């Protein structure tokens, strides 16, 4: 109040001498009060604490995570300057220093915008006990992708978060865009990184690196426990959970996918709160800067390494697929497509199979892959032909079972003729003929040929040549042996002439 009074009297034109005389203070006090703020608090007398000499050491102990009890024990047993003060004074100092350190470590998010076509942020969302109306409630996941510059969004609902699901989702997102962003930003999910090295750099999984190399983007991982580094897609995940799902009902997964596609189209056409423009308005500028989409993107095959076993089989996702026997023991490249499994040796596709359900532990065989060994193993040829015919399903198992029981003595020729009919007429016509023969109670290749309109006795039996990798054809071997014999005869004749001379 006295400070305020001094200020008021000075504004009324009174001199410092008059104010000092009226308030009973010295002129020095009045002059100092006029230079200081009115609400200045009185200075507190700071007394030295016995804990002050330990302040640097306490900061070091706090960084190491030591407890207050342990700090006090170390301070009391300090050989150079043991602490003899009280516990409460020491504890108060530790709490004060800890509070000061925490204030200096406050994490302030720094926002920035990306360049056109620069960043595509990727994240997963999870909905437990999804409330389908005509389908059992179960967990559903959705892959969320968002461009940093335009805020264009893409959402795809899935039943799992496997690596293949993630990578195919990234390819589908690029196909929807029609181009490839420069950088894709992930958190530290196990499907893209297996941890960090000694320099804190992410250890990318081989499948992601192959995809990045073939599509032409650079993977980037957020720092651990730093989700704000991909805040745009984090907001998209919250937006899907808080705006798309509430108030909507879905009968099944098909309707869920349809509704999600319509919702994202609407979301991309409305102005974004971050840019003030609809994402579709900014998207053409990004498309002009993005990378070109490979021609294989529409049917992309995930790349894996494979090894051909001694049985000419390659293990892929819990099943085994055949390759020609000439490649036994060699390394191959496997391309896992949505519906097919293609196996490559360098730039040559050596096997192309219809994909079987992962983890089924089935042997998927192409009989032609083993044709080179049938001349030495005729029984194996018959059994493999029969297995291939049994896989056609329908009436084939019952028909072949009756054939194997009734025509045991002629099983080999019968199976060979049936397989020849299968290759000649195709699986559809062959299956219909087998079904007709089975309904008529007939179990022979002649019956199937009759329904196909041809006599099986007129069909030639295919004799496939023996082909072994690295071994020349028999014609070349015969020619080389004849040349060797001629050379031997010439050499003997020359030797006899020399002896006679």
Give the residue extent of every domain in the chain.
Answer: 2-35, 52-103, 119-297, 301-364, 371-458, 472-501
Percent of the chain with pLDDT over 70: 87
Query: At residue 457, does pLDDT exceed 60?
Result: no
Strand partners, 146: 121, 153
Check residue 401 and give its pLDDT.
92
Query: At residue 465, does pLDDT exceed 50?
Result: no
The CB density around residue 314, as the number of other CB atoms within 10 Å, is: 25
What superfamily in CATH does domain 119-297 come from? Ribonuclease H-like superfamily/Ribonuclease H (3.30.420.10)
The CB density around residue 333, as the number of other CB atoms within 10 Å, is: 17
Check residue 247 and give its pLDDT.
86
One DSSP character per residue, 45-67 reads -----TTGGGHHHHHHHHHHT--
The C-alpha atoms of residue 150 and residue 316 are separated, in whole angstroms, by 40
Q: Which of 40-44, 109-113, 202-206, 454-458 has the highest mean pLDDT?
A: 202-206
- Whole-angstrom CA distances from 196 to 75, 121, 202 are 38, 20, 4
| Type and span of the H or E element at 331 | strand 331-336
DSSP 113: -
Confidence of residue 141 (pLDDT cuts 50, 70, 90): very high
Query: At residue 129, does pLDDT exceed 90?
Result: no
Confirm whether pTM is higher than 0.85.
no
Check residue 486 and give its pLDDT.
54
Contacts of 282 (CB under 8 A, 6+ apart): 116, 149, 150, 151, 152, 275
Q: What is the mean pLDDT of the chain?
A: 85
Percent of the chain with pLDDT over 90: 44
Q: Tell me the backbone φ, ψ of residue 227, rounded to 5 degrees.
A: -70, -15
Considering only CA atoms, which of 261, 68, 57 is closest in space to residue 173? 261
Q: Bigger pLDDT: 262 or 107? A: 262
Q: Which tens digit of pLDDT belongs to each residue from 254-276?
A: 999 999 999 999 999 999 988 89
Which of 69-83, 222-236, 362-376, 394-408 is predicted with the least confidence, judged by mean pLDDT? 222-236
Cα-based angle 223, 156, 168 (whole degrees, multiple of 5): 75
Structural tokens at position 183: 């950088």
Which of 34-38, 117-121, 333-337, 433-437 is predicted with the least confidence, judged by mean pLDDT? 34-38
Beta pairing, strands 153-158 & 331-336? unpaired
Beta pairing, strands 313-316 & 319-322? antiparallel
Q: How far is CA 49 from the centre of its chain?
A: 58
Confidence of residue 406 (pLDDT cuts 50, 70, 90): confident
Kindly report each contact of residues 54-63 with a partner whose C-beta sits within 8 Å and lies 24 or more positions away, as own/partner.
Answer: 54/78, 54/81, 54/83, 54/93, 55/93, 55/97, 58/93, 58/94, 58/97, 59/97, 59/101, 62/94, 62/97, 62/98, 62/101
Three-state SS for 157? strand
- Whole-angstrom CA distances from 215 to 120, 143, 174, 417 are 14, 19, 9, 48
Sign of CA dihedral 419, 423, 425, 427: positive
One DSSP character per residue, 265-326 reads HHHHHSPPTTTSS-HHHHHHHHHHHSBPPPGGGGG--EEEEEE--TTSEEEETTEEEE--GG
């Amino acid at each position: 109040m006295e400070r305020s009074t001094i200020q008021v009297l000075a504004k009324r034109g009174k001199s410092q001498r008059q104010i000092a005389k009226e308030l009973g203070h010295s002129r020095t006090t009045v002059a100092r009060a006029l230079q200081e703020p009115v609400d200045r608090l009185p200075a507190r007398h700071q007394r030295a604490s016995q804990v002050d000499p330990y302040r640097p050491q306490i900061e070091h102990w706090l960084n190491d995570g030591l407890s207050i009890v342990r700090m006090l024990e170390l301070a009391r047993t300090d050989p150079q300057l043991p602490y003899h003060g009280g516990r409460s004074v020491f504890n108060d100092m530790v709490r004060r220093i800890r509070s000061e350190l925490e204030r200096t470590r406050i994490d302030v998010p720094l926002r920035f915008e990306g360049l056109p076509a620069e960043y595509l942020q990727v994240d997963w969302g999870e909905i437990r006990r999804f409330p389908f109306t005509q389908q059992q409630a179960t967990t559903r996941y959705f892959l969320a992708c968002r461009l940093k510059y335009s805020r264009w969004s893409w959402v795809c609902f899935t039943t799992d978060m496997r690596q293949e699901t993630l990578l195919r989702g990234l390819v589908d997102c690029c196909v929807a865009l029609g181009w490839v962003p420069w950088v894709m930003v992930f958190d530290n999910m196990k499907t893209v990184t297996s941890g960090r090295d000694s320099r804190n750099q992410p250890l990318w999984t081989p499948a992601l690196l192959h995809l990045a190399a073939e599509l032409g983007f650079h993977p980037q991982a957020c720092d651990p426990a730093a989700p704000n580094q991909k805040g745009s897609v984090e907001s998209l995940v919250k937006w899907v959970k808080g705006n798309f799902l509430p108030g909507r009902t879905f009968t099944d997964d098909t309707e869920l996918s349809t509704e999600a596609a319509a919702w994202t189209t609407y979301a991309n056409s409305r102005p974004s709160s971050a840019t003030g423009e609809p994402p579709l308005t900014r998207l053409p500028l990004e498309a002009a800067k993005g990378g070109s989409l490979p021609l294989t993107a529409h049917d992309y095959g995930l790349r894996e390494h494979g090894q051909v076993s001694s049985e000419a089989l390659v293990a892929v996702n819990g099943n085994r697929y055949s390759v020609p026997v000439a490649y036994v023991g060699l390394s191959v490249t496997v391309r896992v497509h949505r519906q097919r499994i293609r196996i490559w040796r360098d730039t040559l596709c050596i096997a192309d199979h219809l994909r079987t359900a992962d983890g089924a532990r089935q042997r998927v065989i192409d009989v032609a892959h083993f044709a080179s060994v049938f001349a030495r193993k005729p029984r194996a040829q018959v059994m493999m032909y029969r297995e291939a015919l049994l896989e056609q399903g329908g009436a084939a198992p019952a028909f072949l079972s009756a054939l194997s029981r009734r025509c045991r003595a002629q099983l080999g020729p019968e199976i060979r003729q049936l397989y020849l009919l299968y290759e000649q007429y195709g699986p559809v016509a062959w299956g219909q003929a087998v079904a007709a023969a089975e309904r008529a109670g007939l179990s022979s290749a002649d019956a199937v040929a009759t329904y196909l309109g041809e006599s099986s006795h007129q069909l030639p039996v295919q004799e496939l040549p023996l082909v072994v990798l690295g071994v020349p054809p028999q014609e070349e071997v015969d020619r080389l042996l004849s040349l060797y014999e001629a050379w031997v005869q010439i050499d003997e004749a020359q030797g006899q002439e020399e002896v006679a001379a």
